[in-house]
């Protein structure tokens, strides 16, 4: 039971219920040649694969895994249901043959998965059809990063993104809801830099009325540090976070605040399908100064970026989701643990992507602010498939 505006209301926990699968395509409408990039119904290529390696986290952030839902008796997946490292790597290889060039490991908190370095080493050994290594990165809350950074780098991890929602220790402890100090996360970021992990990013979810006052202090702290700070609009992912539109601070307002402090210049996207709008700190001549670095805003609510979305998500136990706001996935684990050949697995994944038409954020932008574009469906939780 949750309290909202003084009243008690029941919160439905949909995560386990959503672990039912969509029917797999009976066969691929088009057979895809080996190592041929695949496109969906809207012409979007498959480029990024996000892999959740655990459904557990040691934080209880209210917008992701609130304590009243993910309590000590919450039924997490048993280890036997999780994909093994070998199964993940085999599946990743099939995705690479279809065009994936970037793999991001997520959770839950991925550093809670025992021996995660072994999986990173296996993924780092994969090669594209042209013989190039993949872009291997990981998103973490930073709580274990100080002790793991060097081992992650040695295993082949190239980049890391740290979730950090404020520098004020009181606010940060309130948001993670486990009384974890911000100093330990900052120490993890420094350890990642010392280990040689490049292009480190920090993601701050901005929630109006909770941590919006941390926008400028966060920018001031990371400006010129070599770390790219990105501000993310508070998203309506899942059903456990009690999302409300009036708690969203539009990215345009974030940029206004930052421009009041420093001159900024718009930068072009660095990769196809990039979700962040990039802004660089300008020098005295009004030109981008790389020494001062850049910031980014991810307008996940106010500006839909479905049009060039090139991401697929693989859940901890092998469900394939084609959209962050999906209600159901496709059961790849049964295929992986069955008698399917690598070629047949690749063709099945290609067929799934070929039938993709997801564009939830675009639908939401066309509806009144208080409407749900999919009122008859419950969306999967962000903690289950990664953000």
CA-closest candidate to residue 312, choices 30, 102, 116: 102
Q: Is residue 358 pLDDT above 80, yes or no?
A: no
Q: Could you tell me if residue 24 is inside a domain? A: no
Confidence of residue 302 (pLDDT cuts 50, 70, 90): confident
191-195, 251-255, 275-279, 375-379: segment of lowest average pLDDT: 375-379
Q: Could you tell me if residue 25 is inside a domain? A: no
CA-closest candidate to residue 297, choices 372, 193, 365, 201: 201
Q: What residue spans of 273-358 are helical by DSSP H?
A: 333-336, 342-354
> Which of 214-223, 247-256, 327-336 is modeled with the greatest confidence?
214-223
Question: Reduced to 3 states, what is the DSSP secondary structure of residue 60?
Answer: coil
Mean pLDDT of the chain: 86
160-164, 267-271, 299-303: segment of lowest average pLDDT: 299-303
155-159, 207-211, 257-261, 377-381: segment of lowest average pLDDT: 377-381
For residue 247, the model assigns a pLDDT of 85
pTM of the model: 0.86
Q: Is residue 273 pLDDT above 90, yes or no?
A: no
Q: Could you tell me if residue 105 is inside a domain? A: yes
Distance from C-alpha of 259 to C-alpha of 271, rounded to nearest angstrom? 25
Distance from C-alpha of 369 to C-alpha of 184, rounded to nearest angstrom? 38
- Count of domains for the chain: 1
Mean pLDDT confidence for 43-71:
93
Strand partners, 313: 50, 321
Strands (DSSP E) contained in the chain are: 2-4, 7-9, 21-22, 48-52, 102-106, 135-140, 159-163, 201-206, 228-233, 264-267, 277-281, 294-298, 311-314, 319-321, 329-331
For residue 323, CA distances in Å to 71, 248, 330 come to 27, 21, 12
Q: Could you tell me if residue 348 is inside a domain? A: yes
A 10 A CB-CB count for 339 gives 6
Mean pLDDT confidence for 163-191:
96
Distance from C-alpha of 35 to C-alpha of 130, rounded to nearest angstrom? 9
Confidence of residue 10 (pLDDT cuts 50, 70, 90): very low
Q: Which domain holds residue 240?
A: 2-19+40-385
Q: Which two tokens stand for residue 364?
A: 């939401």
DSSP code, position 319: E
pLDDT in tens, 61-109: 888 898 999 999 999 999 999 999 999 999 999 999 999 999 999 999 9
Distance from C-alpha of 193 to C-alpha of 160, rounded to nearest angstrom? 10
β-pairing, 48-52 with 21-22?
unpaired
Confidence of residue 301 (pLDDT cuts 50, 70, 90): confident
Q: Could you tell me if residue 50 is inside a domain? A: yes
Q: Could you tell me if residue 31 is inside a domain? A: no
Q: Could you tell me if residue 87 is inside a domain? A: yes
> Which of 8-17, 23-32, 257-266, 315-324 is modeled with the greatest confidence?
257-266
Q: Is residue 344 pLDDT above 50, yes or no?
A: yes
pLDDT in tens, 102-150: 999 999 999 999 999 999 999 999 999 999 999 999 999 999 999 999 9
The CATH number of whichever domain residue 205 belongs to comes to: 3.20.20.70
Confidence of residue 11 (pLDDT cuts 50, 70, 90): very low
Q: Is residue 366 pLDDT above 90, yes or no?
A: no
**Exposed/middle/buried for residue 79 (C-beta within 10 Å: 0-12, 13-18, 19+):** exposed
β-pairing, 228-233 with 135-140?
unpaired
Q: Is residue 362 pLDDT above 70, yes or no?
A: no
Q: Could you tell me if residue 26 is inside a domain? A: no
């Amino acid at each position: 039971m949750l309290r909202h505006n003084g009243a008690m209301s029941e919160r439905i926990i949909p995560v386990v219920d959503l672990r039912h699968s969509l029917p797999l395509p009976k066969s691929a409408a088009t057979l895809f040649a080996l190592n041929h990039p695949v496109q969906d119904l809207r012409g979007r290529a498959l480029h990024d694969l996000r892999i959740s390696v655990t459904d557990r986290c040691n934080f209880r952030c209210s917008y992701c895994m609130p304590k009243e839902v993910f309590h000590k008796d919450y039924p997490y997946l048993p280890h036997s249901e999780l994909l093994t490292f070998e199964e993940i790597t085999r599946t990743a290889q099939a995705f690479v043959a279809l065009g994936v060039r970037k793999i991001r490991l997520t959770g839950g908190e991925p550093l809670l998965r025992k021996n995660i370095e072994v999986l990173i080493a296996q993924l780092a050994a994969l090669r594209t059809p042209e013989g190039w290594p993949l872009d291997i990165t990981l998103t973490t809350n930073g709580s274990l990063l100080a002790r793991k950074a060097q081992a992650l780098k040695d295993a082949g991890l190239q980049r890391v993104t740290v979730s950090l929602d404020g520098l004020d220790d009181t606010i940060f402890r309130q948001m993670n809801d486990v009384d974890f100090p911000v100093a330990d996360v900052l120490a993890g970021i420094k350890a990642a830099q010392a280990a040689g992990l490049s292009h480190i990013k920090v993601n701050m979810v901005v929630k109006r009325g909770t941590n919006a006052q941390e926008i400028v202090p966060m920018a001031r702290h990371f400006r010129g540090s070599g770390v790219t700070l990105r501000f993310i609009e508070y998203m309506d992912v899942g059903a456990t976070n009690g999302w409300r539109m009036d708690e969203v601070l539009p990215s345009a307002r974030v940029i206004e605040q930052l421009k009041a402090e420093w001159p900024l210049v718009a930068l072009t996207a660095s990769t196809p399908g990039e979700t962040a709008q990039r802004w660089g700190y300008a020098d005295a001549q009004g030109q981008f100064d790389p020494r001062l670095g850049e910031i980014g805003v991810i307008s996940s609510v106010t500006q839909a970026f479905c049009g060039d979305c090139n991401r697929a998500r693989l859940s901890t136990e092998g469900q394939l989701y084609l959209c962050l706001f999906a209600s159901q996935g496709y059961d790849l684990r049964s295929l992986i643990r069955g008698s399917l050949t690598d070629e047949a697995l690749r063709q099945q994944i290609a067929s799934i992507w070929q039938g993709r038409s997801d564009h939830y954020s675009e639908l939401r932008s066309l509806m009144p602010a208080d409407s749900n574009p999919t009122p008859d469906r419950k969306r999967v939780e962000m903690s289950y498939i990664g953000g």
